[in-house]
């Protein structure tokens, strides 16, 4: 496979991918929350796909960008700043239609927090965690 040329990946894909990497969510969780197929999510986050062994730029359509941005917590203002005004407008429309997050989005956020907690806890041994809990309890008692 060829190297990815500089400038091939659209900036909005880079922003969405960065939000994905810090979210703790899986592609499947994002797909479920956004209502998009997992391969579409992967391609939109990458910003390219291979054709005949060569990377080709992929510019996701506005509805796809809006759905992913909504799930990943990328603001409409950020999309506007990236030149994706129509995607930002779609996000604003969706937010006006539903004052509360869709159940799938809420579930994806919960899953992301759970995975992040697992990652943080995996860094420490059981003894280290117990020692920290005991230290905090002593601190609270004064």
pLDDT tens-digit readout, 55-68:
999 999 999 999 99
pLDDT, mean of residues 60-85: 95
Q: How far is CA 14 from the centre of its chain?
A: 11
| Per-residue pLDDT band at 100 (split at 50, 70, 90) | low
- What is the number of structural domains in the chain? 1
Does 2 fall in a domain? no
The helix (H) or strand (E) run that includes residue 56 is strand 54-57
- CA-CA distance, 27 to 127, in Å (whole number)? 33
Does 4 fall in a domain? no
Residue 58 has phi, psi (to 5 degrees) of: -125, 120
Instruction: List the domain range (segments joined by +) for residue 69.
Output: 11-141
Does 42 fall in a domain? yes
Does 3 fall in a domain? no
Does 110 fall in a domain? yes
Q: Say yes or no to pLDDT of 40 above 70.
A: yes
pLDDT, mean of residues 26-52: 94
Give the pTM.
Answer: 0.67
């Amino acid at each position: 496979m060829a190297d990815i040329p500089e400038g091939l990946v659209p900036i909005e894909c880079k922003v969405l991918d960065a939000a994905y990497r810090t979210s703790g969510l899986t592609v499947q969780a994002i797909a479920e929350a956004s209502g998009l197929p997992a391969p579409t999510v992967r391609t939109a986050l990458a910003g390219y796909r291979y054709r005949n062994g060569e990377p080709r730029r992929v510019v996701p359509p506005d509805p796809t960008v809006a759905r992913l941005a909504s799930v990943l917590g990328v603001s409409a203002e950020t999309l506007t700043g990236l030149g994706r005004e129509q995607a930002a407008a779609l996000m604003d429309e969706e937010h006006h239609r539903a004052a509360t997050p869709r159940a799938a989005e809420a579930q994806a956020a919960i899953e992301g927090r759970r995975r992040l907690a697992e990652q943080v806890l995996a860094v420490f041994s059981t003894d280290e965690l117990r020692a920290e809990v005991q230290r905090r309890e002593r601190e609270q008692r004064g």
